[in-house]
């Protein structure tokens, strides 16, 4: 592992603090589980029952795409690379007067920019890897893993990491390059 990636991982670890009863996933694991990594903004959402579960589907507008090329069907590569929006599904939501919540499931907010590690679902939409562990809030040049602390956000200037977004982006590219193709 190169020094730069180690540096980014060390910086990122204090932010990796959100999931249900969960093991803390490293950045490398998030990369291993993901097919697609995107930066963008959820524009709208709809929640619906699927059998006994409520899922929320987010209409996600994409600003940047990174592909885990070795995990994608080559025929779909160009289509995915040029995506401008996609559907992202999260566990839980409210339908009518019934709500369902899954502890650790990321609660996205419309209009907020995120970096998301994604894995495809069977119906063409995507799930976020590791529930909230694969979701990072992007604020300018800072990046923070999603909090599951209710409506409280850990606001601590010491956690603001200038240019983290750029560094993480570079780390992802580095990790992808160093990953042996199958």
Contacts to another protein by CB under 8 A: 3, 6-7, 10-11, 13-14, 17-25, 29, 33-34, 45, 48-54, 91-92, 94-104, 107-111, 117-121, 127-131, 133-134, 148-152, 154, 156, 158-159
Which residues fall within 8 angstroms of residue 71, CB to CB, at 6 or more apart? 34, 35
| Of 82 and 179, CB closest to another protein | 179
Residue among 82 and 156 whose Cβ is closer to another protein: 156
What distance in Å separates the CA atoms of residue 101 and residue 144, rounded to the nearest whole number?
22
- Judge residue 38's burial from the number of C-beta atoms within 10 Å of its C-beta, 0-12 exposed, 13-18 middle, 19 or more buried: buried
Nearest CB to another protein, comparing residues 84 and 112: 112
What are residue 106's phi and psi, to 5 degrees? -65, 135
Nearest approach, Cβ of residue 108 and another protein (Å): 6
**Min separation Cβ 61 and another protein, Å:** 16
Between 49 and 166, name the residue whose CB sits nearer to another protein. 49
Q: Which residues pair with 58 in a beta bridge?
A: 45, 88
- Region of 49 on the Ramachandran plot (φ > 0 left; ψ -120 to 50 alpha; else beta): beta
Q: Return the half-sphere exposure (C-beta side, CA atoms, 13 A cut-off) of residue 60.
A: 28
Pick 11 or 65: Cβ nearer another protein: 11
Q: Which H or E run includes 81? A: helix 74-81
Q: Give least dist CB 59 to another protein, A.
A: 14
Rounded Cα–Cα distance for residues 114 and 41 (Å)? 6
CB of 125 to another protein, least distance (A): 10
Cβ distance to another protein smaller for residue 22 or 62? 22
Q: How far is the CB of 44 from another protein (least distance, A)?
A: 11
- What is the nearest approach in angstroms of another protein to the Cβ of residue 30? 9
């Amino acid at each position: 592992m190169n020094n730069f990636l180690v540096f980014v991982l060390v910086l990122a670890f204090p932010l990796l603090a959100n999931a249900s009863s969960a093991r803390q996933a490293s950045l490398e694991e998030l990369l291993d589980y993901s097919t697609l990594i995107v930066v963008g903004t959820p524009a709208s959402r709809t929640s619906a029952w699927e059998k006994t579960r409520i899922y929320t589907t987010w209409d996600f507008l994409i600003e940047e795409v990174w592909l885990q090329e070795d995990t994608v069907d080559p025929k779909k590569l160009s289509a995915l690379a040029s995506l401008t929006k996609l559907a992202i599904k999260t566990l839980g939501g409210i339908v009518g007067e019934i709500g369902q919540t899954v502890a650790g499931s990321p609660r996205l907010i419309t209009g907020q920019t995120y970096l998301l590690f994604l894995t495809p679902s069977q119906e063409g939409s995507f799930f976020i890897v590791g529930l909230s562990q694969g979701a990072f809030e992007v604020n300018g040049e800072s990046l923070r893993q999603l909090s599951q602390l209710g409506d409280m956000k850990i606001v601590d200037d010491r956690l603001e990491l200038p240019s983290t977004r750029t560094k993480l982006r570079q780390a992802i590219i580095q990790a992808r390059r160093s990953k042996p193709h199958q």
